[in-house]
Amino acid sequence: MKIIVAEHAGFCFGVKRAIDIAEKTISNSGGVNTYSLGPLVHNPHVVDRLNKRGLKVIDSVDSVKEGRLIIRSHGVPPIIQKKAKDTNLDVVDCTCPYVKSIHKKVIDYHSKGYKIVIVGDKNHPEVIGINGWCNDKGIIVNNEDEARKIPEYDKICIVSQTTNTLEKYEKLSSIVAKKGKEVEKFNTICNATNLRQKACAELAKKVDAMIVIGGYHSSNTNKLVEISKKYCNQVYHIELSEELPLQEVSKFNTIGITAGASTPDWIIKEVIEIMENINNNEIMEAIESTLVEIRRGDIVKGKVIYVTDDEIMVNINYKSDGIITREELSNDPNLTPKELYKEGDEIEVYIISLDDGEGNVVLSRKRLEIMKSWDELEDAFNNKEKLECTVLTDVKGGLSVLVNRVNGFIPASQISVNYVNDLSSYIGEKLTARIIDFDKNKRRVVLSSRIIEEEELAKKREELWNSLEIGKVIEGKVQRLTDFGAFVDIGGLDGLIHISDLSWNRINHPSEVVNPGDVVKVQVLDFNKENNRISLGLKQTLPQPWDVFLSKRKIGDVVSGKVVNMLDFGAFVRLEEGVDGLVHVSQISREHVDKPSDKLEIGQEVSVKIIDINQEEEKISLSIRALEKELEKKEDSEIVEATTYQNQDIDVKVEDIIDNK
């Protein structure tokens, strides 16, 4: 095996300077607390080592009141520095000189009226710091879409995050440059970054595998990983030598090693030493000792090596790698490997076979998911848990559903508390159900959504009973009618409106007032939970007809009504307000009437005159005869007027004759 280390790798000038200053500050602290505003470098192992020596990491200057504060190489906005000094902290500025030069450019061009555009990651501390030097008024772009969305400006100044790739900076800055009439571009990518990335690219082209050492959250290290993958198929990103995949890298003839700007020399040396001794018997024995023994049916953990459109290769720490085909990937046939996993993912797999004929172990995620699903369903059955099901289709006697990635069955009688006529209407619907029959060995799951409905209705009824109050007005829906009243659903409970409480007027049947399906407002008259009885009133929610009548009518008014009843002494006429008035037999006609039926019929529409109102007894006296008298007087008056007119006309004609003679 041949090992090649990139010409430029490891600590950059700015990071090394920051660490050297930090170590010196800690050594000369004299017992004074020393803090770093954020991790000094993007390498947890370096941060941990400094922490053990006394450097404490804080997220905000507000969390400390005294001591020394180290500003890391990324730099910070000026407002943070001012705040630290105002808090009486002794500030040790370790901002990288290259980053400082960007700050100066931003201050200068911002003061000249240029719109500052920063090519970089808006969440990276270096970019946040740069933007602070133009009062956070800069525009940050990290991809082509963001660059194209920038509006046009008279003057634009473009700078870059120091760890960007040259290719990315040139592509985005050329797009941004078209947005300004006057544009100043500054390639502020650190020279060390450029050299490191170029050296990485050249090395990746020559080797069988690349090992990139550096923090998983380090921007410049991740860019080295991207560059390596562009030119080499096998790339491994590690933070420490302990993470070296010895079994895998031992297969390659040439291996390249590079490291991010936050990676110290001691970690790089450890990795190189292990790689150089990988052919020693001790190393090979160590590799062999790490291999696991596997059998068909085992469940093991592994790491995704690579992903294609049709399969996933997984390192399961066995002498052979494992393969998951698309068919064994998931219960959902529409999902592709790349939609589910990416290189580096840790996953659990089920061993189907130790050899697929080409030396690979055959693995499955789908079978593992099914096994776990059955275990979860068993727990849900034992604990009587609610489950969400998706209806797949209607089958004989019920519905086929998917519950927790397993096919289940809901009998027709267990779908709903209401009768279900068309089962196909449920296809695609989501139902909440509970398992009522379960057999793991027979792969049988029977569920009921009706049980959940019944429980919810019972809960709703209980809440409704507790909310009932005599005199309270509520809304309900008429369910059915009987001769003695109407039953109304008031939200899970049925109440009865007795026929006498349907209307202020006497009615013969509830259908004269309401029909099934009507939504009505009713008043609670009485209730008894033990006997499950609720008495409701409809008329109580309506104005009393007598009061309405008094507010609208007076003696002498002429009104219309319908004959609703006849007795020997007169006829009762119902007026539009719903009150009944009596037309005494003597008031039916100017002619003599022996009984009302001689002149009137039930249901007949008549005009009547109000001749008396007795408020105390709530009685109304009406008259048809009075209208006939008024009509007769009017007719007599018209005849007199006509006769007078005719006589006047004759007199005029006689005078005309005399005059003519």
Blockwise average pLDDT, block size 10, the chain, 661 residues = 84 81 84 85 81 88 86 90 86 89 95 95 93 95 94 95 89 94 92 86 93 86 92 90 80 89 84 74 50 75 85 80 85 80 86 78 86 89 93 92 90 89 90 93 92 88 86 91 92 89 86 92 90 90 85 91 93 89 92 90 92 91 89 65 54 52 46
Q: Which helix (DSSP H) or strand (DSSP E) does residue 77 occupy?
A: none
* CATH at residue 67: 3.40.50.11270
**76 and 103 together in one domain:** no
The C-alpha angle with vertex 488 and arms to 482 and 490, in degrees rounded to 5, equals 165
Residue 200 resides in a domain: no
Q: Which of these three, 172, 189, 206, is where a domain ends? A: 189
* CATH at residue 169: 3.40.1010.20
| The pLDDT value given to residue 23 | 86
Per DSSP, helices labelled H in 42-90 are 44-53, 78-86
CB 189 within 8 A of CB 159: no
**91 and 105 together in one domain:** no
The residue among 175, 280, 166, 276 whose CA lies nearest residue 223 is 166
**102 and 185 together in one domain:** yes
Q: How far apart are CA 135 and CA 139, in angstroms?
A: 11
CB 584 within 8 A of CB 593: no
Residue 635 resides in a domain: no
**422 and 391 together in one domain:** yes
Where do the DSSP E strands lie in 209-294?
Answer: 209-213, 234-238, 254-259
Q: How far apart are CA 91 and CA 86, in angstroms?
A: 11
**175 and 119 together in one domain:** yes
Helix 125-132 × helix 97-111 angle, to 10°: 40
Strand, coil or helix: what is 94? Answer: coil
Q: Is 66 a catalytic residue?
A: no
Instruction: Give me 522's structure tokens.
Output: 């009713």
**393 and 428 together in one domain:** yes
Instruction: Give me 2's structure tokens.
Output: 């041949």
Query: Please, which residues have CB within 8 angstroms of residue 148's CB and are 6 or more apart in sequence?
Result: 175
Q: How many C-beta atoms surround the C-beta of residue 394 within 10 A?
A: 17
Residue type, 244: L
Q: Give how far Cα 226 sits from Cα of 3, 143, 200, 543, Å.
A: 20, 15, 10, 80
Strand, coil or helix: what is 405? Answer: coil
Please report the DSSP string for 140-175 in residue order.
Answer: EE-SHHHHHTPPPEEEEEEEE-TT--HHHHHHHHHH
Query: Please, which residues have CB within 8 angstroms of residue 145's CB and are 6 or more apart in sequence?
Result: none
Residue 47 resides in a domain: yes
CB 561 within 8 A of CB 578: no
Residue 532 resides in a domain: yes
Q: Which of these three, 162, 189, 216, is where a domain ends? A: 189
**475 and 423 together in one domain:** no
CB 29 within 8 A of CB 21: no
Residue 5 resides in a domain: no
How many separate domains does the chain show?
6
| Residue 44 lies in domain | 13-97
Q: Is 392 exposed, middle or buried (0-12, 13-18, 19+ CB in 10 A)?
A: middle
| The pLDDT value given to residue 656 | 57
Strand, coil or helix: what is 217? Answer: coil
* CATH at residue 593: 2.40.50.140
Residue 103 resides in a domain: yes
Q: How far apart are CA 258 and CA 229, in angstroms?
A: 13
Instruction: Give me 75's structure tokens.
Output: 């730099």
CB 449 within 8 A of CB 411: no
Instruction: Give me 627's structure tokens.
Output: 């209208």
- Exactly one of 66, 126, 285, 343 is catalytic; name it: 126
Q: How far apart are CA 159 and CA 170, in angstroms?
A: 11
Query: Please, which residues have CB within 8 angstroms of residue 96's CB and are 6 or more apart in sequence?
Result: 12, 13, 14, 15, 17, 18, 73, 74, 75, 162, 190
